[in-house]
């Protein structure tokens, strides 16, 4: 059995429904964090990929630029 609580109509608080309160804009829900070379090297090692410093630096610049643009 579920319990039911009865209330009087004057005890109910009525507020207007604002849709924006329930929708996150892209800026609010997108958190950017700079990617470091150390993190990229760890990911490459975990995936078993070979890399050199040029590839890591290029990847870092590319990912950081993409995240910066996505967060605008």
| pLDDT digit string, tens, across residues 37-54 | 999 999 999 999 999 999
Number of domains in the chain: 1
Q: Let me know if residue 33 belongs to a domain.
A: yes
Q: Let me know if residue 36 belongs to a domain.
A: yes
Q: How many CB atoms lie within 10 A of CB 55?
A: 13
CB 33 within 8 A of CB 70: no
55 half-sphere exposure, CB direction, 13 A CA radius? 7
Supply 11's token pair. Answer: 């005890």
Q: Let me know if residue 6 belongs to a domain.
A: no
| pLDDT digit string, tens, across residues 1-34 | 889 989 898 888 888 888 877 776 655 555 678 8
Q: Let me know if residue 57 belongs to a domain.
A: yes
Structural domain of 51: 23-71
């Amino acid at each position: 059995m579920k319990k039911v609580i009865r209330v009087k109509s004057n005890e109910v608080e009525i507020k207007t429904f604002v849709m924006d309160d329930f929708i996150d804009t892209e800026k609010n829900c997108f958190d950017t964090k700079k990617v470091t070379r150390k993190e990229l090297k760890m990911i490459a090692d975990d995936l078993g990929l070979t890399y050199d410093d040029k590839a890591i630096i290029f990847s870092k610049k590319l990912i950081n630029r993409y995240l910066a643009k996505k967060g605008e």
